[in-house]
C-alpha cells in the first residue's frame, strides 16, 4: 500500500491554518464534538516507553538529548538484555498500560540488532501487550521481519513541517522519513507518527505538519504530539516558550483532521501542567505515556496521573 501524501488532498495546509485561526472556544468545541462521535471521551489509552538502547546516536536532531553530537550528559549504553525488557513490560502491564513501546537511539538498526529487537517484540507480545518500536530508518525487509515477530506499531515521527525540517536535522531528509513510513505500511504495520511542537516553527508550519499527517492514506493510527523538552546542551535549548494554548489548538486540529486516530500527549506533558492537560483531553487527546520516565526525560509519576484521572473522571482503556 502506498501512503504517498499525494493520495488525499483534503487537508491542505491552508485549510488546517483556518482551523488554527478559529476562536479558541469554537475550535475546542468542534474538536470535542468530533472526539465524542468517534471515541468514549472519558477513556484514555495508556502506553509505556522503555529506552532499550540509550545515547550515542550519530544523528544531529536539534531537539534530542541522545545525539552524540550534543553535550547533554546522556551516556552511550548498549542494547538492554532481553530479561530486563521483559521485566519492564510485565511492570508496565501491571500498572495498566496496554501498549509497550521500545525506543532505540539509532540512525537505523543493524541486522544483528534487529534480530535481538524481534525477539523482544515477540516476548512482549506474548505477555498480551500491544507492541511498538522506534528504531530509526528501516531498510528493505526489516519491517517485514518486525511484523513477523508480532509487532503492531512502528513509531517514526515527521517531527515538523517539510520546510522547517532542515533547520532541525541535517543528517537525513524528510523524504527518508516518508520512505521508512512507506516501508512500515507495506509490511502491514500500524503507524505511530506525529511531531514536536515548540521548536521555533511558525503556526503555518504546525498546520503544514498536521496536513501532512492527515493526508496519509490512511492517517496514522496513533499520533504523538510532543511538547519540546528543552534539554540543556541541545541546540534547541533556549527556544522561546510557546503559548500553551497553541499546544491545545494543535491537539484540537489533530483531532478534527484525524477523527479516528489516537492522539497522544507525549513528551513534555509534565511541563504542560494539569489544567492544560485537561484542556487537551477535552480537545481530543486520548492517549498518554505513563510511568515516571520517557526515554531520558521525566514524565509525571503514575500516582499523580491516577489522581488527575480521578479528579477528571477519566478511565484507562483496558
Ligand atoms: N532514533 C529514532 C528516531 O529518531 O526515529 C527513535 C527514537 S527518537 C528519540 C523518537 C522521537 O522522540 C523523535 O522523533 C522525537 O519526536 C521525540 N523526541 C526526542 N527528543 C525530544 C525532546 N527533547 N522533546 C520532544 N520530543 C522529543
Ligand atoms: C514520541 O513521539 N515520543 C516518544 C516516543 N515517540 C518514542 C519519545 C519522547 C522522547 C522525549 C525525550 C526523551 O525522553 O529523551
Ligand atoms: Fe538519534 Fe532519534 Fe535522537 Fe535523532 S531523535 S538523535 S535519530 S535518537
For 82-125, write each residue's pLDDT tens digit.
999 999 999 999 999 999 999 999 999 999 999 999 999 999 99
pLDDT at 6: 41
Q: Which ligand neighbours the alpha carbon of 66 most closely?
A: 3
Split at pLDDT 50, 70, 90, the class of 7 is very low
Residues in the ligand 1 pocket, defined by CB under 6 Å: 63-64, 66, 103, 105-106, 134, 136, 156-157, 159, 196, 226, 228-229, 231, 267-268, 295
Centre a 10 Å sphere on the Cβ of residue 31 and count the other Cβ atoms it contains.
28
- H/E stretch holding 37: helix 24-38
Banded pLDDT at 9 (limits 50, 70, 90): low
Among candidates 140, 55, 43, 32, which has minimal Cα distance to 103? 55
Task: Kindly state the average pLDDT of the residues 273-295.
Answer: 96
CA-closest residue to ligand 1 atom 4? 136
**Nine-digit cell at 312?**
477528571
Q: Show Cβ contacts of residue 27 under 8 Å, excluding neighbours closer than 6 positions.
A: 19, 20, 249, 252, 253, 283
How much distance in Å is there from the Cα of 251 to the middle of ligand 2?
17
Name all residues whose Cβ lies below 6 A of ligand 2.
Answer: 49, 65, 101, 103, 134, 155, 157, 194, 224, 226, 229, 266-267, 294-297
Q: State the pLDDT at residue 235.
A: 98
Give the nearest ligand 3 atom to 66 CA.
Answer: 3
Distance 115 CA to ligand 2 centre (A): 23
Q: Which three cell numbers stand for residue 318?
A: 483496558
Residues 50, 103 contacting (CB under 8 angstroms): yes
| Residue 255: Cβ-neighbour burial (10 angstroms; 0-12, 13-18, 19+) | buried
R_g over Cα of the chain: 18
Supply the residue whose CA is at minimum distance from atom 3 of ligand 3: 64
What ligand 3 atom has the least distance to the C-alpha of 65? 3
Of 188, 200, 159, nearest in space to 64 by CA: 159
> pTM for the whole thing?
0.96
The C-alpha cell at 18 is 483556518
> Are the beta carbons of 260 and 237 closer than 8 angstroms?
no
Contact 199, 62 (CB under 8 A): yes
The protein residue with its alpha carbon nearest to ligand 3, atom 4, reads: 61
What average pLDDT does range 206-235 have in this prediction? 97
Give yes or no for a contact between 271 and 242, defined as CB atoms under 8 angstroms apart. Answer: no
> Which atom belonging to ligand 2 lies closest to the Cα atom of 155?
6
| Whole-number Å distance between alpha carbons of 180 and 6 | 17
The residues, any chain, with a CB within 8 Å of residue 237's CB and separated by 6 or more, are: 230, 231
- Under the banding of pLDDT at 50, 70 and 90, the label for residue 230 is very high
End-to-end alpha-carbon separation of the chain, Å? 31
In tens, the pLDDT along 145-197 reads 999 999 999 999 999 999 999 999 999 999 999 999 999 999 999 999 999 99
Ligand 2 centre distance from Cα of residue 294 (Å): 6
Q: Give the residue among 260, 224, 225, 210 at the shortest CA–CA distance from 15.
A: 210
Residue ranges per structural domain of the chain: 36-316
State mean pLDDT over 196-225.
97
* Mean of all residue pLDDT scores within the chain: 96
- What's the pLDDT at 10? 86
As a whole number, mean pLDDT of residues 278-282 equals 98
pLDDT (mean) for 53-76: 97
Q: Which residues lie with the beta carbon below 6 Å from any ligand 3 atom?
A: 57, 59, 61, 64, 66-67, 105, 136
Q: What is the mean pLDDT of residues 300-317?
A: 96
CATH level 3 topology of 36-316? TIM Barrel (3.20.20)
Total residues belonging to the chain: 318
Gap between the Cα atoms of 239 and 242, Å rounded: 9
Q: What is the mean pLDDT of residues 252-268?
A: 97
Mutual angle of helices 13-20 and 244-257, in 10-degree steps: 130
pLDDT reading at 302 higher than 50? yes
Separation CA 168–CA 173 (nearest Å): 11
pLDDT band, very low/low/confident/very high, at 1 (cuts 50, 70, 90): very low
CB-based contact 62:231 (threshold 8 Å): no
Q: At what angle do helices 13-20 and 203-214 cross, to 10 degrees?
A: 120
State in Å: Cα 150 to ligand 2 middle. 22
Beta-carbon contacts of residue 232 (< 8 Å; ≥ 6 apart): 72
- Write out the catalytic residue numbers: 57, 61, 64, 101, 132, 192, 264
Amino acid at each position: 500500500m502506498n501512503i504517498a501524501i499525494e493520495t488525499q488532498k483534503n487537508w491542505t495546509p491552508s485549510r488546517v491554518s483556518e482551523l488554527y485561526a478559529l476562536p479558541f472556544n469554537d475550535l475546542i468545541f468542534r474538536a470535542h464534538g468530533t472526539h465524542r462521535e468517534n471515541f468514549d471521551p472519558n477513556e484514555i489509552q495508556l502506553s509505556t516507553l522503555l529506552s532499550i538502547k540509550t545515547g550515542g546516536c550519530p544523528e544531529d536532531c536539534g531537539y534530542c538529548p541522545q545525539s552524540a553530537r550534543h553535550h547533554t550528559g546522556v551516556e552511550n549504553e548498549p542494547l538492554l538484555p532481553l530479561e530486563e525488557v521483559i521485566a519492564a513490560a510485565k511492570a508496565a502491564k501491571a500498572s495498566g498500560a496496554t501498549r509497550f513501546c521500545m525506543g532505540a537511539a539509532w540512525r537505523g538498526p543493524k541486522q544483528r540488532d534487529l534480530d535481538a529487537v524481534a525477539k523482544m517484540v515477540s516476548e512482549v507480545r506474548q505477555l498480551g501487550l500491544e507492541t511498538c518500536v522506534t528504531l530509526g530508518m528501516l531498510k528493505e525487509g526489516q519491517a517485514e521481519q518486525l511484523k513477523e515477530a508480532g509487532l503492531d506499531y512502528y513509531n517514526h515521527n515527521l517531527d515538523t513541517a517539510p520546510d522547517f525540517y532542515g533547520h532541525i536535522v541535517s543528517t537525513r531528509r524528510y523524504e527518508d522519513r516518508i520512505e521508512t513510513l512507506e516501508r512500515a505500511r507495506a509490511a502491514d504495520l500500524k503507524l505511530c507518527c506525529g511531531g514536536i511542537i515548540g521548536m521555533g516553527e511558525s503556526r503555518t508550519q504546525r498546520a503544514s505538519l498536521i496536513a501532512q499527517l492527515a493526508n496519509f492514506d490512511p492517517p496514522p493510527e496513533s499520533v504523538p504530539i510532543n511538547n519540546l523538552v528543552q534539554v540543556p546542551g541541545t541546540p534547541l535549548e533556549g527556544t522561546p516558550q510557546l503559548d500553551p494554548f497553541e499546544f491545545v489548538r494543535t491537539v484540537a486540529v489533530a483531532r478534527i483532521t484525524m477523527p479516528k486516530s489516537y492522539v497522544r500527549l507525549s513528551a513534555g506533558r509534565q511541563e504542560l501542567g494539569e489544567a492544560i492537560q485537561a484542556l487537551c483531553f477535552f480537545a481530543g487527546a486520548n492517549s498518554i505515556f505513563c510511568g515516571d520516565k520517557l526515554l531520558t526525560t521525566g514524565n509525571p509519576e503514575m500516582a499523580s496521573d491516577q489522581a488527575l484521572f480521578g479528579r477528571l473522571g477519566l478511565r484507562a482503556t483496558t
